[in-house]
Structure 1
Amino acid sequence: MGIVLHSSPLLWTRLAAMAFSCVAFSVAVHGAKLEHGTGDWCIFCWAFSFAGTLLVILVELFGLQTKAPVSWKNFPITFACYAALLCLSASIIFPLYFLKGLSGSSTIRDYRIVVTAFSCLATVAYISEVSISKARPGEVAGYMATGPGLLKVCETFVACVIFVFVSDPVLYDRHDALKYCMAVYCICFILSAAIILLCIGECTGCLPFPFPRFLSAAIILLCIGECTGCLPFPFPRFLSAYAMLAVVLYLLATIIWPIFNFDPRHRGNKNRPYSCSTQLGLCSWDKGMTVAVLTGVNFILYLADLIYSTRLVFEKQEVKVAVCSK
């Protein structure tokens, strides 16, 4: 088994991302003194990104792409996009929880500043990797390297972040309308776990119901495994139907969540409590506002996804008409 080393901007970008994420979690573990679970999450983001990038580099270094159990056209850019989002979230969360309120000069503060800086550098490196790897016009590439594929990654990640914020403390149990929003946010993740287990066991053909048509995570899994040709319906039409459903659901959630969280007529508080200014990290009001913003972000992502997917369907129909008219 020979070693294949091709120096390229993509390789150097991956090496930089791996180095930056390694420094971030190493310094955090060594001297940042992270006391609670938020620090563990940030360390996971950096360590997971480092380990995944190392795996991608080793597979390509030893020329094992054809032996990998996933589509190598889709997996590296999918992972890089998730790593960019993970490092971005850590770069935002870490200073909020571990630099906010610290003043003066101290060794712990210096360590935490270094961690934040290298986390930001890792984020930039992973974004650069995605930019280098994404499909160019006219280029034959995997679905995950295209705009709709990258949007799927962002949609699932944003939904996951929303789920974290609404669950600690619980922000959705005061009204049935908020429970609807929670259902929109998390139902795909409840079903995604079952889909992943079914796909690992190759049991999707044994299901007593049609394969689920409304999960971004399932779409990503199908594309990574290059299984879209096995679906009993046209994949582009499925993407359009899925995106349309998601746009409607998120539009309602974008309207409902702020009304029932911040309108005084629904036991909400439109003004930020004074206690939030002195509290470590984000208070409940801040988390509710963050969820409202992220819901709007995901609505925009799904809307862009719908536009991409609809255009894809019409382009394919135009090609068929042109072929039939000849």
Structure 2
Amino acid sequence: MLHVDFRTLILPIGIVRMVEVVLTCICFALAASAGIPGFATSHWAWCMFCWCFCCFTTLLIIILEFTNLHSKVFLSWEDFTMAFAMLATLMMVTIAIIYPTFFTCSNCARQIVASTVSWLCFGLYAVEVWLVHKRPGETSGFLTTIPGLLKILETFVACIIFMSLSPNEYRKVPGTQWCVAVYSICFIFSLLIIFLTIAKLPSILPFSFDKAVIGFNIGAVVMYTTAVVIWPLYAFERNPRPNDCNHCSWDDLVVVTFMTVINFLVYTGDLAYSVKIVFFTHTEHTYEN
């Protein structure tokens, strides 16, 4: 029998989520009504996807908690809500930077409003992260810990890299193709680790999942080390910035370079922290808990 809980709608986190749904929907509607731009379409598509994804996922969470169906799903609900809130926070802050940078002007009222509201969405999702983490009566999940948050950050940075990649740029030489392979492989495995953790599957695997993750992190650090060197070496070889470049594809190469370094540092930190909690301490959350 379906049991509804109206209390979930009047709790602070419930109110925050309802406002998030409204504001992300407003942003999506404003950007859609402004039309599809004739430039930077990948950035526009990313912004539209983020608004839509955050709106409907937040609405789904509200419905599941309101109907108490969240207790029936076979996953760590706190890990799921924390992972989504963290991801949505990162999405909103990038939109709040990217959208006005590429698509606003002094006469673009709808774009300006969408950009402003995106900053409000960022603030709300940041508040949700704090509320989920501080929610009383629940056991802290893995994704609320530093290694868990780093895994979310790794996948998010990879999404920014994919958004900035241009096939015409990276298909020119095998070196940049290798870098794209590095981004893809590490992204897939990081996403798989998050899904397995949320679904509470690591404890039933026939091997030590913690040590397998450390092995993956070692491989990711090694691969990203090569990408940090190879990508700028080949991407900018005989490829100076055009004089008429105004948010052109050359700038995207810089973004990929910067994000490659960021993800290298994140994977390095993830490796160091994972080694610490698996081999040197036993008091913090691991993937198998």
TM-score by length of 2: 0.86
Which string of whole-angstrom CA distances, capped at 9 and with x for unpartnered residues, describes residues 85-110 of structure 1?
222332222223211xx34xx4xx11
**Per-residue deviation at 1:169?**
4.5
State the percentage of identical aligned residues.
Answer: 37
CA distance in 2 between partners of 1:11 and 1:274 (Å)? 50
Q: What residue is the counterpart of 1:201 in the other structure? A: none
What CA deviation, in whole Å up to 9, does each residue of 1:217-262 have, x standing for no partner? 1101101111011222222212222112111111221122122223
- Relative to structure 1, the CA distance from residue 132 to residue 300 in structure 2 (aligned partners, 3 Å threshold; closer, same or farther) is farther
Looking at structure 1, the residues matched to 235 and 186 of structure 2 have their Cα atoms a distance apart, in angstroms, of 23
* Root-mean-square deviation (Å): 2.3
Deviation at 1:268, TM superposition (A): 3.4
Question: Which among 40, 64, 73 is matched to residue 69 of structure 2?
Answer: 64
> In the alignment, does 2:259 pair up with 1:294?
yes
Does the Cα contact within 8 Å between 2:176 and 2:231 map onto a contact in 1?
A: yes
SS at match of 1:242: helix
Cα distance in 1, alignment partners of residues 140 and 153 from structure 2 = 19
Contact 2:75 2:198 in 1 (8 A): yes
Q: Which amino acid aligns with 1:56?
A: I
Query: What is the distance in 1 between the residues matched to 2:216 and 2:181?
Result: 16
Task: State the alpha-carbon separation in 1 of the partners of residues 44 and 257 from structure 2.
Answer: 24
Partner of 2:207: 233
Q: Write the letter of the residue equivalent to 1:76.
A: T
1:255-291 Cα distance to aligned partner (Å, 9 max, x none): 22122223xxx4232xx322113xxxx3121011000
Q: Deviations over 1:128-168 (max 9, x none)?
A: 212332379xx8422122221121111112112212322x2
Q: Deviations over 1:277-306 (max 9, x none)?
A: 3xxxx3121011000000011111111211
Query: TM-score normalised to the size of structure 1?
Result: 0.77
Residue 178 of structure 1: which of 176, 179, 182 is its match?
176
Aligned residue-pair number: 276
Correspondent of 1:276 among 242, 245, 252: 245
Any gaps of 5 or more consecutive residues in structure 1? Answer: 193-214, 320-326
CA–CA separation in structure 1 for the residues paired with 2:123 and 2:174: 40
Aligned counterpart, 2:287 = none
CA distance in 1, matches of 2:61, 2:167: 37
Measure, in 2, the Cα distance between the counterparts of 1:92 and 1:170.
Answer: 25
**Is the 8 Å Cα contact of residues 134 and 145 (structure 1) preserved in structure 2?**
yes
Structure 2 residue 38 is matched with structure 1 residue 73? no
Aligned AA for 2:161?
I
Amino acid at match of 1:241: G
Report what 1:55 is aligned to.
60
For the structure 1 residues 49 and 13, does the alpha-carbon distance in structure 2 shift closer, same or farther, using more than 3 Å as the test? same
Could you tell me how far 1:67 is from its partner in structure 2? 1.3
Aligned partners of 1:22 and 1:58: how far apart in 2?
16
Report if the CA contact (8 A) 1:135-1:145 is conserved.
no
CA gap of 1:120–1:318, structure 2 versus 1, over 3 A, is: closer
Closer/same/farther in 2, CA of residues 317 and 33 from structure 1, 3 Å limit: closer
Counterpart of 1:21, as a letter, is T
Q: Where does the alignment leave 5 or more consecutive residues of structure 2 unmatched?
A: 285-289
CA contact (8 A) 2:235 2:253 kept: yes
The equivalent residue for 2:35 is: 33
Q: Which residue is equivalent to 1:155?
A: 154
Matching of residue 2 in structure 1 with residue 3 in structure 2: yes
Structure 2 Cα separation of the partners of residues 65 and 285 of structure 1: 45
In structure 1, give the amino acid aligned to 2:171. D
1:1-326 equivalence runs, <5 A: 1-4=2-5, 5-6=7-8, 7-30=10-33, 32-36=34-38, 37=41, 38-99=43-104, 102-103=105-106, 106=107, 109-134=108-133, 140-166=139-165, 168-188=166-186, 192=188, 215-262=189-236, 266-269=237-240, 272-277=241-246, 282-316=247-281
40 and 227 in structure 1: CA distance in 2 versus 1, 3 angstrom threshold = same
Asked whether the equivalents of residues 82 and 133 of structure 2 are also in contact (C-alpha less than 8 Å), the reply is yes
Q: Cα 1:228–1:115, aligned 2, differ >3 Å: closer, same or farther?
A: same
Q: Return the alpha-carbon distance in structure 1 between the equivalents of residues 249 and 268 of structure 2.
A: 29
